[in-house]
Amino acid sequence: MKIMFYDTKPYDKIWFQPMGEEMGFKIKFQEVKLNEDTAVLAKNYDAVCIFVNDDAGKETIQVLKEIGIRTILLRCAGFNNVDLKAAKDAGIQVLRVPSYSPEAVAEYAMGLLLTVNRQIHRAYVRTRDFNYNINGLMGIDLVGKTAGVIGTGKIGQMMIDILKGFKMNIIAYDPYPVEGLDVEYVDLDQLFERSDVISLHCPLTKDTKHIINKKSISKMKDGVILVNTSRGALINTSDLIDALMERKFTGVGLDVYEEEDAYFFEDKSNDIITDEDLIRLTSFRNVVLTSHQAFFTKDAMEAIARVTLENAKAVEDGLELKNLVLP
């Protein structure tokens, strides 16, 4: 099988190149993202491998079909950037990595929570300038507080375990509750009303897009802490900024951003940023925004490469496609 990789970085090559060669695949790496214009680069290949900010929409799918691509390999868990119906109609199989390291993402989410609560990011900047004044850096004890977890898949479950270690009271929402999970399931309204901390661990779908919006924010406690390590569009950015202006949140920890595809994973330090929402978000002292790195550990990268290439091998050998994604 010949596989064209899109939107690749040096760390992708470190893991995929040797493993791919060992499994007998011919791999070519492209730095450009997949879209309607760049899809033709995969001509004469059997599959494309894409990441979270590649565009596998209807128009791109059509080009892939015309050049003979029959498989899309997602080296991630989310698939909101793929038009699954168009892919099925085109006879293109879509496979993903459903679980690589839920521990990595949950641990990072907890890190964001601790950072914005205790304002570690601000303390670090102060002491770098030899300013040892702690005024304005006061946080809260997490023990005994209520944490609301939206989404109880593998990452959400790991987050629940971590929060329990801090002796927090845990409530959760998921349209498909996990049987036997030791947590109190509630509806969304109750979760918004009762939580001191809210952490998002659900996929981006038509039902979850902007699950955090003006209406849901209005139901939250004043001083709530919000953490998102899932997908940026779970939050209506404009509504979040309005709430930050009104001092609704004690802190917000974001590893994702609604319009991140134009910025994240790239060095934009020498560019003039024109995204007004992004500029405003980074101006709030109680907001920590990082560049979609919650997954980024050695363990996770090894697992992503292995499962992605195992998916390719299953296609090549006509085996059961355990990680096939359907509309």
Catalytic residue among 210, 292, 302, 306: 292
Residues 24-37 as b/e (b if ≥16 CB within 10 A, e otherwise) read: ebebebbeebbebe
Q: Where are the beta strands (DSSP E) in 177-325?
A: 184-185, 197-200, 224-228, 249-254, 287-289
d(CA 115, CA 164): 18
Catalytic residue among 260, 266, 280, 316: 260
User: Is 231 labeled as catalytic in the residue annotation?
Assistant: yes
Q: Taking the alpha carbons of 183, 187, 192, 193 in that order, is the dihedral positive or negative?
A: negative
Write the CB contacts of 219 (distance below 8 Å, at least 6 apart in sequence): 189, 192, 193
Which amino acid, 321? L
Catalytic residue among 96, 194, 231, 258: 231
Strands 249-254 and 71-74: unpaired
User: Is 292 labeled as catalytic in the residue annotation?
Assistant: yes
Catalytic positions, written as ranges: 231, 260, 292
